[in-house]
Amino acid sequence: MAIRSLGRQMTEEPGRSAPLHNRRGEARIEDRHGCAYELCASGGGGTATIQQGQAFTLNRSAHGILLLMGDAPRVNQLIGIHNAALGWRRSTMVYQVRWTRPLRVESQGDLFLVGCRQVTGALR
C-alpha cells in the first residue's frame, strides 16, 4: 500500500528526537506507524462504520493525532484509530476530524494530512 511505503521512507529519514510542539502549545510526540481506521457516520442515535482502511500516524499529543491518509474524511466526522500492537479492544481511540489538507507526494500521488481531536465514547 502506498501509505505504508511512504511511512517506511519517513521512518528511515533522520528525524527530530525532541517532542514536537503545535501552535496551541500542546506537546506533540513523533509517533510514526501504520494503523487501521474506521470512518463513522452518525445519525439517529448511534454511529455506523462507512469506511475502513489503513492510515499512517505522524505524531500525537495528549488530546490529538496527526494522520496521513489516502482519502480525505469530512470535518467533524468521527474516526476510530486502531493500534494493532495493543489489540482491538484496548487500542481503539475515537477522534473527531478537525481539518484536512491535501498533500501531493511525487512517488505516492495525492494524500491527505488529517488533524484529529480525541473524543470520549465508543464507536458503537
**Digitized pLDDT (tens) for each residue of the chain, 124 residues in all:** 455 555 554 444 444 444 444 455 677 777 788 889 999 876 555 667 788 999 999 988 888 999 999 999 999 999 998 876 655 555 678 999 999 999 988 887 899 999 999 997 555 5
The secondary structure element, H or E, covering residue 88 is: helix 88-91
Nearest to 73 by CA among 51, 46, 92, 104: 51
**CA–CA gap between residue 72 and residue 30 (Å, rounded):** 22
- Give the pTM: 0.70
pLDDT reported for residue 18: 43
